[in-house]
Structure 1
């Protein structure tokens, strides 16, 4: 444990280092933070923080900069102070309405907006649509051997799928099939009458194929990712950590980031720093957050930046937006 004064000095070192990118000395802390103690006292406290492994000393000066352990301590304090708060998704709800409830367009706009606001790369993962209710299903014949299936979800999202069939299906039969598919997905028991209607019919194969198509699309949608501000990854890197760009891009493209939400993740906001993410990502931090649609769909947000990230700004934004 460290004292309140030592914590305030650590916070000052972290925040000034993020702003300046340079080791922080006692004079800078006194000038910027109105600390009512002598420079000698500040230096003694900085020495204590160094002995605790929370800051490191630069080679050419008496200034200190945060260690990974120091960033972790700083972030843990931020998260603890905001423990009882829950992210507010009003902005996402507004974007859904602005994009006529096209979920993909809204999430893409959300990712770009968050990236522009934070100046970091933002990645948004689509919710698991298997938890979304289907409000309507429509089937159409466009040509003799092609059926278009339009699925409308309770969230307002719409999916379009198509299937080649051996022969044209009547409009009446398409309506029956559509009603059966809707009942089948909203009620695991399904409609006994509907099931009997297709059990021994020549359309049973088509029905199963359409259901398989829908199941596969819903499964695939859980890995749909919307990326905003990819160029910010390059902007944040300098000559010391430029080698990280390849590793982080490979990490994002491999979808390994999804495992951060599956392994040791608690609902709300969390932060992973450096090798907590991956052994090859020493210079990267990721702020993780949930978002909710219609109270029953949950997706994930990841804001990606350097370890010297403006954590407080990002965390506060994710709580408010």
Structure 2
């Protein structure tokens, strides 16, 4: 445990280090925070924090910088405080959906860019899992002798256009009947009742195969899209790193662009704010932090947001921003 004064000093060191980008000395703390104690007292308290490995001394300055452990202590205090605060929720995502005619990809790309501008850091928005959405309607449109367009409409308003290459000679009337059947029976897909009803609906093996290919196409498409990530402000991550940790850029970008980030967001999936700092993310990463939260399209359909910045990031502003998003 640390005292209230030591906690105040730790918080001040973290926040000043974020603002100034350099180690913080006792003189800076006294001047910036109008502390009514002597420099010697501040130095003694800083020595205690250093012994606890919450702050550390660099070789190039007499000041102290927060360690990963110290930042974690600071962040835990912030999370505890904000968990008791009531925030006004902003449903900006719904407005973006309307503005972009319910095109999910365009909407989430715009959302990622807006969040990056608001937070001043790189942001990732993971595509929601549409398996949790409800298909409202499926339409089949013949484009030519070998191609059928499948239009999938969800209750959220989202629409997907999928292509089906087929040699089966199906009339427009037959395609309409198949559309209506699959729309009605879709949620029974992959059970015995569906097979029984399918056998009653069509006798032609070619038509049965066409319907099964439809369903597999939907399933594969959503499996492939479940890991879709939209990035905003990639350059902000590079800007946030300085000459002392510029070598971290490549492994950080490799991590973000790999499947590891998807797994991390899945592991951090929770309705509350989650924070991973430096080595908590991966042993090879020491210079970034990732703050995640959920966003909602409706009560069922939701995904993950991640804000990525240096370990010395403005946690207070980012946590406040994510707390306002529904």
TM-score using structure 2 length:
0.93
Structure 2 residue aligned with 1:99:
100
2:141 aligned partner: 140
Q: Name the structure 2 match of 1:57.
A: 57
Give the whole-Å Cα distance in 2 for the aligned partners of 1:259 and 1:227.
16
Determine the C-alpha separation between the residues in 1 that align with 2:26 and 2:270. Answer: 37
Give me the whole-angstrom Cα distance separating, in 1, the residues matched to 2:74 and 2:148: 57
Write the mapping of 1:49-88 to structure 2, written as runs, cut at 5 A: 49-84=49-84, 88=89
Cα 1:84–1:212, aligned 2, differ >3 Å: closer, same or farther? farther
Deviation of residue 81 (structure 1)?
1.2
CA contact (8 A) 1:141 1:168 kept: no
Matching residue of 2:155:
154
1:242 Cα deviation from its structure 2 partner: 1.2
Cα pair distance change 1:212/1:85, threshold 3 Å? farther
**Matched residue, 2:173:** 172
**More deviation, 168-177/6-15:** 168-177
Q: Is the 8 A contact 1:89 1:292 kept in 2?
A: no
User: How far 1:60 sits from its partner (Å)?
Assistant: 4.2
The 3 A distance-change label for structure 1 pair 61 and 239 is closer
Per-residue deviation at 1:38?
2.1
* Greater mean deviation of Cα atoms: 122-131 or 192-201: 192-201
What CA deviation, in whole Å up to 9, does each residue of 1:162-221 have, x standing for no partner? 111114311121112112222233345559655521365431111111111000011111
**Inter-partner Cα distance in structure 1 for 2:69 and 2:247:** 22
Q: Please identify, of 34-43 and 240-249, the stretch whose mean Cα deviation from structure 2 is larger.
A: 34-43
> CA 1:269–1:199 in structure 2 vs 1: closer, same or farther (change >3 Å)?
farther
From 278, 285, 301, give the equivalent of 2:282.
Answer: 278
Q: CA deviation at 1:35?
A: 2.0
3-state secondary structure, aligned to 1:135: strand
Please name the residue that 1:305 is paired with.
309
SS of the counterpart of 1:257? Answer: helix
- Give the Cα–Cα distance (whole angstroms) in 2 for the partners of residues 61 and 150 of structure 1: 63
Quickly say closer, same or farther: Cα 1:199–1:245, change in 2 above 3 A. Answer: farther
Structure 1 vs Structure 2 CA RMSD: 1.9
Select the residue among 254, 260, 264 that pairs with 1:256. Answer: 260
Q: How many residues align?
A: 321
Per-residue CA shift, 1:61-106, capped at 9, x if unaligned?
Answer: 4311101100111111111112256883511122112212211111
Partner of 2:34: 34
Indicate the residue corresponding to 1:108 in structure 2. 109
The DSSP-based 3-state class of the residue aligned with 2:151 is: strand
2:270 and 2:294 in contact (8 A); partners too:
no
1:230 aligned onto 2:239: no
Distance in structure 2 (CA, Å) of the matches to 1:299 and 1:223:
10
Q: Does 1:214 align with 2:215?
A: no
Find out whether 1:204 has 2:212 as its counterpart. no
CA distance in 2: counterparts of 1:229 and 1:106, whole angstroms: 16
Query: Where does residue 5 of structure 2 map in the other structure?
Result: 5
- Unaligned 5+ segments in structure 1 are none
Q: CA deviation at 1:248?
A: 1.2
| Deviation sequence 1:134-169 (CA, Å, 0-9, x none) | 111110011112100000111111111111111431
Runs of 4+ in 1 over 4 A off after TM superposition: 84-87, 187-195
Partners of 2:61 and 2:146 lie apart in 1 by 76
User: TM-score, normalised to structure 1's length?
Assistant: 0.94
For the residue of structure 2 that corresponds to 1:287, the secondary structure is strand
Match of 1:238, SS state, is: coil
Report the secondary structure of 2:50's partner residue.
helix
Q: Secondary structure of the residue that 1:123 maps to in structure 2?
A: strand
